[in-house]
Structure 1
Amino acid sequence: MDNLSDKIEKVNLSDSSTDDSEKSSVSDSDSSSEEDAVPSFNIAMWDFNQCDPRKCSGRKLSRLKLIKTLKVKQRFPGLVLTPTGQKCVSPADRVIVSTKGIAVVDCSWAKLDETPIAALKPAHGRLLPFLVAANPINYGKPLQLSCVEAIAATMYITGFKKEAKFYLDKFSWGHSFLELNDELLEIYSNCSDSQSVVLEQTKYIEREQQLQKERQKARDFPSSSDSESD
């Protein structure tokens, strides 16, 4: 199986334009399948207006009426993806998601210290496990996911795979997120709880680090043909 660096090199981003225009028409069959994939639960975000609105996936979801924008002091009863979370998203969160929904904090990673995230006080704050971004701004970078990637990852891990793909399909680069993270998402979605997700995450990272060391060692070690020519 390809390791992570190989996947990043192989994923085709020729259609990863930041100018993601909304799709204006779909066939009847596409429309029917989309209706089946529309989440039955709420999707929301707190938008702290720190991102470029032309490139913000949360803003696009809002234009498509696929996400509700919350006020800073407005509470959300469902699962909240936030840097202040104490547990990782896991399949054990499925009931919370299905009954109360998902919310994400839309802010700049560079401005976390000046963002009043603590004021949100979510009942079910969660962190995402190790995943790699596919959005054009942070492509290939671990953990720096866009709003739609974070939402889709949560859906996928908690068993709402059709819904995850439905949201990612609104972006020309969305398929790349699933391609880059297919192995990890499947691993996480088959875990039992947050603790097992963290355990699998650690095992995966350690394996990737070992593969990188082996590849580096192979590059540094001279080939037999080189030795013979000296």
Structure 2
Amino acid sequence: MDRTKPSVPVAMWDFDHCDPKRCSGKKLERWHLVRRLRVGQRFRGAVLTPQGKQAISPADAGIVAAHGLCVVDCSWARTDEVPWKKIASPHERLLPYLVASNPVNYGKPYKLNCVEALAAGFYICGRAHDARLLLAKFSWGLHFIELNRELLDLYAQCADSKEVIAVQNTYLNRVTAERATSRAVDSGDEEDCDRHRSRSS
């Protein structure tokens, strides 16, 4: 087996919405790590798309193992330009909450580029080697796993899409609560400082 390439088929529908010099999908295509699909061409594996109705999960591992993983490369601001009916798939999936590590959208939730999306799908479906193989082609790539390791590991332990969404929501609720607590503490510190200044004046 060639361990310099993913162990299953990897593909994308590319609608040329992004800067070709920065597009990770086009770079993967040039390196023969992703196969570009024509509009109307079908893909039998799992497809990462904003049209998905359920999150990708370990329940999709068999589909990915048998037929591979595909991503729809398009701008979320221009989804109305995509001929969705011509690239429909029975295995359309959404990605759960993750944070980008790419230079354009670093630290922004859900703003993943093609290689990050594919890597996330592979990791969640138990194919961490394939995820790292793709990410390693980019200087910032492997940091994506480090940035999202807690969530990726939690998602990879779920049984299905419902559990993935439950884990996502629990995590987001926890983060929201921690931020609220932090703001309250910071506000309290400011009030203490104000009282101190009042006594000193």
Q: TM-score, normalised by structure 2?
A: 0.93
**Aligned match of 1:112:** 79
Q: Indicate whether 1:71 and 2:38 are aligned.
A: yes
**Aligned match of 1:54:** 21
**Aligned match of 2:68:** 101
- Contact 1:84 / 1:118 at 8 angstroms: preserved in 2? no
Which of these residues, 138, 163, 167, is aligned with residue 196 of structure 1? 163
- CA distance in 1 between counterparts of 2:138 and 2:196 reads 53
Aligned residues: 197
Which of these residues, 80, 84, 95, is aligned with residue 51 of structure 2? 84
Q: Indicate whether 1:227 and 2:189 are aligned.
A: no
- CA distance in 2 between counterparts of 1:39 and 1:187 reads 23
- CA distance in 2 between counterparts of 1:101 and 1:202 reads 28
- CA distance in 2 between counterparts of 1:132 and 1:222 reads 30
Matches within 5 A, 1:1-230: 35-36=2-3, 38-222=5-189, 224=192, 226-230=194-198
- Partner of 1:88, secondary structure, is coil
- Structure 1 residue 38: Cα displacement: 3.0
Q: Deviations over 1:19-69 (max 9, x none)?
A: xxxxxxxxxxxxx9xx43632210000011111100000000001000000
- CA distance in 1 between counterparts of 2:193 and 2:74 reads 53
- CA distance in 2 between counterparts of 1:225 and 1:64 reads 58
- Structure 1 residue 136: Cα displacement: 1.0
Deviating more after overlay: 106-115 vs 158-167: 106-115
- CA distance in 2 between counterparts of 1:38 and 1:208 reads 36
Deviating more after overlay: 181-190 vs 216-225: 216-225
CA RMSD of aligned residues (A): 1.5
- Partner of 1:156, secondary structure, is helix
Runs of at least 5 residues in structure 2 that lack an aligned partner in the other structure? none
**Matching residue's letter, 2:123:** Y
- Contact 2:59 / 2:160 at 8 angstroms: preserved in 1? yes
- Partner of 1:149, secondary structure, is helix
**Matching residue's letter, 1:140:** G
**Matching residue's letter, 1:121:** A
- Contact 2:25 / 2:114 at 8 angstroms: preserved in 1? yes
- CA distance in 2 between counterparts of 1:158 and 1:82 reads 16
- Contact 2:56 / 2:96 at 8 angstroms: preserved in 1? yes
Q: Deviations over 1:111-170 (max 9, x none)?
A: 112222232110100001000111111111111110000000000000001110110000
- Contact 1:37 / 1:162 at 8 angstroms: preserved in 2? no
Percent identical? 47
- Partner of 2:36, secondary structure, is strand
- CA distance in 2 between counterparts of 1:69 and 1:225 reads 60
Q: TM-score, normalised by structure 1?
A: 0.82
